[in-house]
């Protein structure tokens, strides 16, 4: 065979291989201006100090979506099977800094196989609680990060990504689907340490849809809350939040006091029903920080907690498509922390309003208003203060946040 013919065959084969594969570059940028009624700045004479704040914020803290870019690829392997991958990086539109604690591809990074029997992927991924139940919450639909529940205690909005995980997603069986995930702890001689597993089931038929999911993470301060590059790697650090100081604000007083939990367990369920231009939705979650006091392999316990601390969270929401280009939403959520051994019992009432106007299929402008009121004693064993998700904690029991933003997809 001549070199010319061989070259032609190789070129043709390469063309066929390329034609059966694809790599898509995609992304989203979300930026806006935020007002916060009370942002904690520190302490003076033992009392919390707070001031109103005006700021420029990326979507990941105060908007609808975190800015990101990504690569999504697929290769046809024949017989209905294909290889897939996704590499997705978050960043700050205001500064250009990497998101997710400085991770290069911190939002998602996985590779796997897809077939008629389902999809198996390996890498850094979203858990079934976030993917199966999260979409029923207002935060995932129109409210963004600020509208999520009490610093996203139930992870309905993907605040936590799961490292070193294997995930299975079933095909759709007449509206029914299910998924399962396992994350390896990687601790020599202890299979259970730092391991995580999760499962979910969803159903959609006409105007009705619903989902339920479960997640269980061992040593969650490290395995669940400590999955970003800037996280602490020893039980001496608290990856959930911090108490603050005379010159710095507290971080996540709602549940950061429970870093010593041996296990965190999340049970979530949600449903929605569409009536014409309106969609009614509801969610419920039960989050338990179990086995508090495991300072040897989980995290610090400065307040001496033991036993379990339980959060019950309920939300009702309404989305209304006023016109093809104008969307409105309203939601109310209630979060109750029953505390541990009778300590640190607190409640958080939150209301959210949203209005979104689409200038085109890829560009929209929006406004979000969120109000939260706290009562009781929080996980830092102090009078509970409000903290709208993504924002600095308040110095008082109430806080209001307002956002005007613009979002563009490509």
pLDDT, position 9: 35
Q: In the CATH scheme, what architecture does the domain 22-409 have?
A: Beta Barrel (2.40)
Q: Give the helix ranges, DSSP H, for 139-285.
A: 220-223
Find the angle CA(407)-CA(322)-CA(410) to the nearest 5 degrees. Answer: 20
Rounded to the nearest integer, the mean pLDDT of the chain is: 94
Per-residue pLDDT reduced to its tens digit, 133-181: 999 999 999 999 999 999 999 999 999 999 999 999 999 999 999 999 9
Exposure string of 18-34, with b = 16+ CB inside 10 Å and e = fewer, is eeeeeeeeeebbbbbeb
Q: What is the mean pLDDT of residues 250-254?
A: 97
Which of 66, 65, 76 lies closest to 20, judged by CA?
76
pTM: 0.93
Alpha carbons 138 and 44: distance in angstroms, whole number: 37
Alpha carbons 65 and 290: distance in angstroms, whole number: 31
CB of 337 closer than 8 Å to CB of 368: no
Per-residue pLDDT reduced to its tens digit, 64-101: 999 999 999 999 999 999 999 999 999 999 999 999 99
Alpha carbons 402 and 151: distance in angstroms, whole number: 17
What are the strands, taking DSSP E only, across 242-306?
263-275, 278-292
Q: What is the mean pLDDT of residues 299-328?
A: 97
pLDDT, position 10: 39
Confidence of residue 131 (pLDDT cuts 50, 70, 90): very high
Q: What is the mean pLDDT of residues 203-219?
A: 98
Confidence of residue 306 (pLDDT cuts 50, 70, 90): very high
pLDDT, position 46: 86
Alpha carbons 182 and 192: distance in angstroms, whole number: 11
Alpha carbons 92 and 62: distance in angstroms, whole number: 12
What are 211's strand-pairing partners? 202, 270
In the predicted model, is pLDDT for residue 6 greater than 80?
no
What are 244's strand-pairing partners? none
With tokens 């979409």, the residue in question is: 135
Sign of the four-CA dihedral 88, 94, 99, 103? positive
Alpha carbons 234 and 103: distance in angstroms, whole number: 19
Per-residue pLDDT reduced to its tens digit, 352-371: 999 999 999 999 999 999 99
Alpha carbons 374 and 387: distance in angstroms, whole number: 8
pLDDT, position 336: 98
* Local structure of residue 59 (DSSP, 8 states): H
Residue partners of 218: CB distance under 8 A and separation at least 6: 185, 192, 193, 194, 195, 196, 262, 263
């Amino acid at each position: 065979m001549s070199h010319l013919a061989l070259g032609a065959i190789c070129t043709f084969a390469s063309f066929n291989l390329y034609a059966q594969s694809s790599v898509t570059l995609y992304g989203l940028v979300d930026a806006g201006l935020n007002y916060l009624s009370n942002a904690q700045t520190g302490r003076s004479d033992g009392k919390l100090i707070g001031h109103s704040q005006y700021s420029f914020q990326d979507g990941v803290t105060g908007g609808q979506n975190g800015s990101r870019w990504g690569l999504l690829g697929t290769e046809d392997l024949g017989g209905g099977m294909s290889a897939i991958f996704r590499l997705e990086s978050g960043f700050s539109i205001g500064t250009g800094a990497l998101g997710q604690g400085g991770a290069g591809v911190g939002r998602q990074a996985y590779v796997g196989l897809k077939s008629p029997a389902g999809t198996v992927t390996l890498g850094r991924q979203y858990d079934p609680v976030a993917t199966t139940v999260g979409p029923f919450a207002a935060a995932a639909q129109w409210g963004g990060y600020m509208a999520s529940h009490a610093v996203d205690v139930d992870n309905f909005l993907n605040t936590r990504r799961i490292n070193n995980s294997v995930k299975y997603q079933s095909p759709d069986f007449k509206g029914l689907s299910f998924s399962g995930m396992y994350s390896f702890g990687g601790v020599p001689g202890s299979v259970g340490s730092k391991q995580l597993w999760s499962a979910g089931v969803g159903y959609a038929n006409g105007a009705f849809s619903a989902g339920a999911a479960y997640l269980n993470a061992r040593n969650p301060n490290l395995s669940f809350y400590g999955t970003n590059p800037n996280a602490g790697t020893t039980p001496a650090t608290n990856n959930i939040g911090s108490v603050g100081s005379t010159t710095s604000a507290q971080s996540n007083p709602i549940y950061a006091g429970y870093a010593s939990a041996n296990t965190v367990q999340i049970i979530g369920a949600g449903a929605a029903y569409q009536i014409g231009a309106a969609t009614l939705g509801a969610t419920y979650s039960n989050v338990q920080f179990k086995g508090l006091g495991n300072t040897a392999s989980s995290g610090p316990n400065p307040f001496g907690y033991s036993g379990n601390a339980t959060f019950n969270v309920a939300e009702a929401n309404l989305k209304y498509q006023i016109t093809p280009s104008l969307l409105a939403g309203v939601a109310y959520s209630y979060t109750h922390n029953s505390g541990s051994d009778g300590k640190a019992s607190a409640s958080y009432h939150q209301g959210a309003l949203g209005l979104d106007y689409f200038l085109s299929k890829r560009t929209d402008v929006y406004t979000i208003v969120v109000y939260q009121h706290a009562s009781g004693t929080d996980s830092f064993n102090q009078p509970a203060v409000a903290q709208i998700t993504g924002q600095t904690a308040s110095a008082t029991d109430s806080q209001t946040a307002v956002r005007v933003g613009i979002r563009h997809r490509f």
